[in-house]
Amino acid sequence: MQLDPFGIGNTFFRIQQAWLQHPQEQLEAQRELAASLWMLNLNALTALAGGKSEKAEKAAPADERFADPEWQATLGYSLMVQHYLAYTRWLERIVYDTPGVESKDRHAAAFWTRQWFNALAPSNFFLTNPVALHKALESHGASLMKGFENFLADLKAGDVQMLGKDTGFTVGKNLANTPGSVVFRNELIEVIQYHPVGKKVRAMPIVITPPWINKFYIMDLNEKKSMVRHLVNEGFTVFMISWKNPRADMADNTFEKYLLKGILQAIEVAREITGADKVHAVGYCIGGTALTALMALLNRKYKPSDVPVAHWTLLASLADFSRPGEIEAFINENSLATIEELMAKQGYLDKNQLSSAFRMLRPNSLIWHYVIHKYLYGETPPSLDVLFWNTDSTRLPRAMHAFCLRQLYVENNLVKKDALVIGGQKIDLGRIAQPLYEVGTTEDHITPWVSTFKTAALVKGPVRYVLSTSGHILGIINPPSPTSKREYWAGDASGATDSTVWLSSQAKQAGSWWDDWCAWLHERNGAMQTPPAVGSANHPVLCAAPGAYVAED
């Protein structure tokens, strides 16, 4: 398992054996490749003779590796790129279409095939990258010298770093700087109450559960990109959970504890401080998955009218893990055994181990982009707030993470009636009666929107589903702006089972979905009233936001 922690060898062995049992299909696939490559060569000869090429293999619009005009300046480089694209697309497709193999193996094999050929792209090597050659000649070798310095620095750090030494970012100053106070702290969470900006606020508070992978301030990046600040400016009282970054002494913290002493505790704090009978609860990514489980538990313990959450929002969150996206390639017995062995020794999954896995989901933009620009071009990466947050990752405690991997990703037990026991109660998503506002994003590779959409058919209450353009982060952190190019679709999805049918019946709207969400919240979060005090006798102010836990390394 140490030599092959992800079971890649076993996966490709099954793919190979399947193709050996289908020689005719294999021969047809090889003929197809030969014809495709021959056509590319014929087009090249036609262009060389001064004719017009009929068909060329082109990179996808989002693939920036070959976007520079240098790649098309000479026929040799252009043909090399076309051969690379044609062969890799062909191979990935036939691997994915392998006859007689389980879907999970086909997905995993296609994923690892793509990883291998992304690494072998001509853009990644100096002698086959015309842009790198041009920069080296133009700078008289200075770009290469700087690239070598960047390489040595990353070698010392043990990682391809996405940021330079001086990022210019400080949490609490130019990040996570919406005014607020920590009003509760236990061994698992801090609860931040944000200060009101107007004389009136909605009666019902909002309690946000961020993912415990990375830190909460993705919801509060800066003045222009802060979801928290936007909600406060809209007249809502906002509470935020800040998760403690676990170490070995938190190894036994369970998923149930994250629900009961984390999310539910924050809800009770918000209710006590504001005097509200109920709250609006928000969950993002795995925080939304946990909120979904808690909602099922609350609807199991109480009548719907007695549940302390009046309505809720899910942001890029899965409940059904049958198709969890490209991360599925990491979910097999080999990888799980390796992860569990690491966690048994450490007490947690280390943040670097976790970060490496997520970067492999988008290697061209999160790994090879930096190899090319830092080592081959000799450039210093720009300082971006989202990248700073992305590198400020966290650890995951053994018990909780093992539960998520086994019970959610492998067994998919959250969607099975009474399969999970939380707080001594068997939970069923079908009991959840409270209205749900759910958001997915078109380019999400962590929680694919077609999978998040499945929640609409799993819960009993009414569902408004929103699909935003962009990905897992930028599709959610999507503030209204006159210059925004974002778009979204929104409409009722109560009980809907077919995402394609739903999407075809919705009109595309320009701008940020935040406007639609705030309108939905304003209708449901009660009358405008005098803002509650910050903290209370039972929950006094402990310190200023963003608190102590977010600063822990």
Structure tokens at 173: 């100053």
Tokens of 133: 């050659």
CA distance 192 to 211: 15
Give how far Cα 190 sits from Cα of 234, 245, 262, Å: 24, 11, 9
Q: What contacts 320, CB < 8 A, 6 or more positions away?
A: 412, 414, 415, 451, 454, 455, 458
493 CB neighbour count, 10 Å cutoff: 23
- The separation between the first and the last C-alpha atoms of the chain, rounded to the nearest angstrom, is 30
Give the whole-angstrom CA distance, residue 161 versus residue 177.
25
* Helix (H), strand (E), coil (C) string for 174-206: CECCCCEEEEEECCCEEEEEECCCCCCEECCCE
Q: Which run of H or E residues covers position 242?
A: strand 238-243
Distances (CA, A) of 543 to 191, 245, 369, 515: 11, 18, 40, 32
Query: What single letter denotes the amino acid at residue 14?
Result: R
C-beta of residue 490 within 8 angstroms of C-beta of residue 513: yes
In the residue annotation, 285 being an active-site residue is answered as yes
Which H or E element spans position 116?
Answer: helix 103-119
Residues 73 and 129: their CA atoms lie apart, in Å, by 12
Cis ω for the linkage preceding 546 (within 30 of 0)? yes
Residue 458, Ramachandran bin (φ over 0: left; ψ between -120 and 50: alpha; else beta): alpha
Provide the token pair at 98. Answer: 């392998």
Check: CB of residue 307 under 8 Å from CB of residue 299: yes
- Is residue 490 helix, strand or coil? strand
Whose tokens are 């000869």? That residue is: 45
Residue ranges of alpha helices (H) inside 275-397 are: 286-301, 333-346, 351-360, 363, 369-370, 385-391
What are the DSSP calls for 494-551, one per residue?
A: TT---HHHHHHTS-EEES-HHHHHHHHHHTTS--EEPPPPSS-SSS---EETT-SGGG
Catalytic residue, candidates 285, 404, 518, 543? 285
Cα–Cα–Cα angle for 83, 89, 95, rounded to 5 degrees = 130
Question: What is the CB neighbour count within 10 angstroms for residue 232?
Answer: 23
- Cα within 13 Å of Cα(499), Cβ side: 17
**Catalytic site positions:** 285
